[in-house]
Amino acid sequence: MKKTYFIIIIFLLSINIIVAQTYSTKDKKAIKFYKKAERFYDKPNYDKTIIFCNKSIEIDENFIEPYILLSKTYYRLGDTDNEVFYLKKSLEIYPEQEAVVLTIANIEFEREKYKEAQKYYDKYLKFKHIENRKNVLLKIEICKFRINAIENPVSFEPIKLPATINSTQSEYFPSLTPDENTLIFTRQDGIQEDLYVSYKNDTSWTEAKSISSNINTDKNEGASSISADGSVMLLTRCLQREGCDIFLTYIENNDWIEPYKIGNSINSTSWDSQPCISADGNTIYFVSTRPGGMGGIDIWKIERKKNGAWSNAINLGATINTKGNETSPFIHPDNQTLYFSSNFWTGMGGMDLFLSRKNKKEEWGTPQNIGYPINTKQDERRIIVNTKGDLAYFSSDRDGLNQHDLFQFYLPKESQAKRTIYVKAKIFDAETNKRITANYEIINLKNNKLTNKDSIISEFIVCLPTDNDYLLNVAKNGYLFYSENFSLKDLSDTINFYNIDIYMKPIKIGEKIVLKNIFFETDSYKIKEKSFAELDKLVSFLRLNPTIKIEIGGHTDNVGTKKHNDELSENRAKSVKEYLVNKEIKADRISYKGYGFSQPIASNKTKQGRSQNRRTEFKVTN
């Protein structure tokens, strides 16, 4: 505890009678013993100091100076209990010692006795003309927070990862793929930092090994972030003369290529480190000491533009960053929850873990401390959270082994991120069954906003927040586009991912596909607004293939009369044609027909089957 400053205050400011070589007693014998105590203190001989201070107090128990000297002596001896005891004894004699009151408050604060600290800070505020009121009020606020946090601890049961991952060295800065089967982390051996990888095998983790000789060098590599599909990784590499910068690597021929430094959008002449890429690949968060920030270390981001280029670095602003240090950003796959560390936002001390959530305006909310005993007076740094949003991984030295190891724990409910599901897909030619490349887009049907896209890929992994419906569209020249709907509402806890194979049909007369994202009002042919994204994909397909003619087919389940269903299916098909025509697709290219329930593709005896039978298709007719 660094209290020398406060002890100096006591002796220079609190008792001016000492400076004037006058004392708070007139008893000469008490003064004589006190002077002997001072001489022994200076030698130093603390045993004799204590003896003569006590002799002085035995003669005059209201003699203040021996109590203060005893407090100083026990400070030197590292006995904080007695240090505070004798400061409080001096206050009993002379309560108007401002500096003593403040010193007691600060000592109690340092040793985590926050109720006592708050009591003495409150006493200090009652003195007139104090100059550090603002700082004391801040300390009181912190005391109140910590008292409440300790009295209301959050659930926390950390489990140390196995010896296949944790070694006799330090392990920290974990990064996890969405399927939770690949864990990448930094291991420090002496002053050397390298990246290691371990794979989940059933319920255990394989022996960690160096991730690649192309990545690990005699420089320091660490603080990585892996993309949702596991094929791209950002990492920090520190060069002695150039400092730390952010590098990119990707898998080619089953190995990581030699990392290369990303451009000036993210790297600067300052310290740049700790990257984290969002699940959709469109935002990279990182930390930097570059000019233009709010404090020492700030969290910044760059965003991918529509043309694929990256924006200039953007500071996350005063909602997140402070005049202190904010580090270790982790953006959850829900793209709404940001975890980070800070030593300035109100917490338990040192670096605490916080989270911030986006509001409806996509603005970051006030950071929330994730609670005690997850946060302590020690430094808590980066955590990562699984796609489900409930399981976190972090590094800590709480074992007392003078090294950091990796742990996992379940987050308290209030600190969990929104659950996400990852979708893993491979793309094939429907006739040859061979893998092909194509373009894909995923659109949130709640707001018709694009959430993910990529081009010229043969497989992809994406993370999608639950409680929404999504449109998946895969397109390739010479093929009918592929349409899929993901309804991620009310999912059971056992569903963590979708693994799908996408078969693309070459454009041929008679080929047809189901438009899985066209929806109508119940027992009506009025098209719902969330169908427009799918219909616009059909418009784009027809514009790219101007010679093609199609038939829109409407289908129903078998609930109701044949006549009613025939009419309903025909009117629904007609509504789709009218939408296309209104988008300037020539009417003679589009026919429509209602098939009622004459062509079921599933059983009408189940709710799910009837849902599949209620569909809209298009068929190539010319």
Chain mean pLDDT for the chain:
92
How large is the C-alpha radius of gyration of the chain? 34
- Measure the CA–CA gap between 261 and 275, rounded to whole angstroms: 13
For residues 207 and 72, state if they share a domain. no
Kindly report, residue by residue over 331-382, the tens digit of the pLDDT: 999 999 999 999 999 999 999 999 999 998 999 999 999 999 999 988 888 9
For residues 465 and 393, state if they share a domain. no
Q: What is the mean pLDDT of the segment spanning 470-493? A: 90
Looking up tokens 């009419």, which residue turns up? 567
Our count of domains for the chain comes to 4
Q: What is the mean pLDDT of the segment spanning 230-254? A: 90
Res. 387: pLDDT tops 80: yes
Where is average pLDDT lowest: 227-231, 322-326, 519-523, 611-615?
227-231
CB 355 within 8 Å of CB 375: no
Confidence of residue 7 (pLDDT cuts 50, 70, 90): very low
- Measure the CA–CA gap between 240 and 237, rounded to whole angstroms: 10
Instruction: Please state, in angstroms and as integers, the Cα–Cα distance from residue 10 to each residue in 15, 16, 76, 311, 520, following that order.
Output: 7, 10, 15, 54, 79
Helix (H, G, I), strand (E, B) or coil at 238: strand
The conformation of residue 162, written as its DSSP 8-state character, comes to: P
- Measure the CA–CA gap between 385 and 229, rounded to whole angstroms: 16
Confidence of residue 184 (pLDDT cuts 50, 70, 90): very high
Q: What is the pLDDT of residue 349?
A: 92
Q: What is the pLDDT of residue 14?
A: 45
Q: Is 545 among the domain residues?
A: yes
Res. 20: pLDDT tops 80: no
Confidence of residue 45 (pLDDT cuts 50, 70, 90): very high
The residue among 362, 379, 413 that closes a domain is 413
- CATH number reported for the structural domain that contains residue 266 in this entry: 2.120.10.30
For residues 137 and 20, state if they share a domain. yes
Instruction: Please state, in angstroms and as integers, the Cα–Cα distance from residue 501 to each residue in 63, 458, 460, 494, 534, following that order.
Output: 87, 11, 11, 21, 20
List CB contacts of 508: < 8 A, sequence separation 6 or more. Answer: 620
Q: What is the pLDDT of residue 240?
A: 67
Q: What is the pLDDT of residue 1?
A: 45
Q: What is the pLDDT of residue 11?
A: 45
Confidence of residue 226 (pLDDT cuts 50, 70, 90): very high
Q: Where are the beta strands (DSSP E) in 544-599?
A: 550-555, 590-594
For residues 124 and 205, state if they share a domain. no
Instruction: Please state, in angstroms and as integers, the Cα–Cα distance from residue 7 to each residue in 49, 89, 102, 443, 596, following that order.
Output: 17, 16, 10, 64, 90
Res. 17: pLDDT tops 60: no
- CATH number reported for the structural domain that contains residue 423 in this entry: 2.60.40.10
Kindly report, residue by residue over 154-170, the tens digit of the pLDDT: 999 999 999 999 999 99
Kindly report, residue by residue over 286-299, the tens digit of the pLDDT: 999 999 999 899 99
Q: What is the mean pLDDT of the segment spanning 420-443? A: 95
Structure tokens at 69: 């000297």
Q: What is the pLDDT of residue 241?
A: 67
Return the closest-CA partner of residue 451 out of 476, 423, 428, 427. Answer: 423
Q: What is the pLDDT of residue 470?
A: 92
CB 504 within 8 Å of CB 428: yes
Q: What is the pLDDT of residue 12?
A: 37
- CATH number reported for the structural domain that contains residue 530 in this entry: 3.30.1330.60
Q: Is 164 among the domain residues?
A: no
Amino acid at the residue 548: I
The residue among 88, 123, 151 that closes a domain is 151
CB 370 within 8 Å of CB 400: no
For residues 502 and 543, state if they share a domain. no
Kindly report, residue by residue over 119-143, the tens digit of the pLDDT: 999 999 999 888 899 999 999 999 9
Q: Give the containing element (helix H, strand E) for 39.
A: helix 28-42
Q: What is the pLDDT of residue 2?
A: 47
Q: Is 159 among the domain residues?
A: no
The conformation of residue 181, written as its DSSP 8-state character, comes to: -
The conformation of residue 520, written as its DSSP 8-state character, comes to: B
Q: What is the pLDDT of residue 146?
A: 98
Q: Is 576 among the domain residues?
A: yes
For residues 477 and 593, state if they share a domain. no
Structure tokens at 566: 């025939």
For residues 94 and 110, state if they share a domain. yes
Structure tokens at 230: 């596991």
Q: Is 46 among the domain residues?
A: yes
Q: Give the containing element (helix H, strand E) for 543.
A: helix 532-544
Kindly report, residue by residue over 323-341, the tens digit of the pLDDT: 999 999 999 999 999 999 9
Q: Is 316 among the domain residues?
A: yes
Q: Is 163 among the domain residues?
A: no
The angle that helices 46-59 and 28-42 make with each other, rounded to 10 degrees, is 170
Structure tokens at 3: 């209290």
Kindly report, residue by residue over 92-128, the tens digit of the pLDDT: 999 999 999 999 999 999 999 999 999 999 999 999 8
Res. 271: pLDDT tops 90: yes
For residues 463 and 528, state if they share a domain. no
Specify whether the backbone of 217 is left (phi greater than 0), alpha (psi in -120 to 50) or beta.
beta
Amino acid at the residue 110: E
CB 294 within 8 Å of CB 322: yes
Q: What is the mean pLDDT of the segment spanning 198-213? A: 94
For residues 459 and 389, state if they share a domain. no
Confidence of residue 4 (pLDDT cuts 50, 70, 90): very low
Res. 530: pLDDT tops 50: yes
> Model-level pTM?
0.86
Q: What is the pLDDT of residue 379?
A: 87
Q: What is the pLDDT of residue 213?
A: 96
- CATH number reported for the structural domain that contains residue 18 in this entry: 1.25.40.10
Amino acid at the residue 497: F
- Other C-beta atoms closer than 10 Å to the C-beta of 118 total 21
Q: What is the mean pLDDT of the segment spanning 32-55? A: 97
β-strand partners of 405: 396
Q: Which domain holds residue 579?
A: 509-622
Confidence of residue 531 (pLDDT cuts 50, 70, 90): very high
Q: What is the mean pLDDT of the segment spanning 551-558? A: 97
Return the closest-CA partner of residue 7 out of 92, 106, 89, 85. Answer: 106
Q: Is 287 among the domain residues?
A: yes
Residue predicted with more confidence, 269 or 492 = 269
For residues 197 and 306, state if they share a domain. yes
Q: What is the mean pLDDT of the segment spanning 453-477? A: 91
DSSP states of 61-125 as a string? TT-HHHHHHHHHHHHHTT-HHHHHHHHHHHHHH-TT-HHHHHHHHHHHHHTT-HHHHHHHHHHHH
CA angle, 310 then 311 then 317, to 5°: 135
Spell out the SS3 assignment of 368-400.
Answer: EECCCCCCCCCCCCCEEECCCCCEEEEEECCCC
What percentage of the chain has pLDDT greater than the value 70?
A: 96
Confidence of residue 60 (pLDDT cuts 50, 70, 90): very high
CB 355 within 8 Å of CB 137: no
For residues 552 and 494, state if they share a domain. no
Q: What is the mean pLDDT of the segment spanning 528-538? A: 95
For residues 78 and 193, state if they share a domain. no
The residue among 506, 528, 548 that closes a domain is 506
Res. 446: pLDDT tops 60: yes
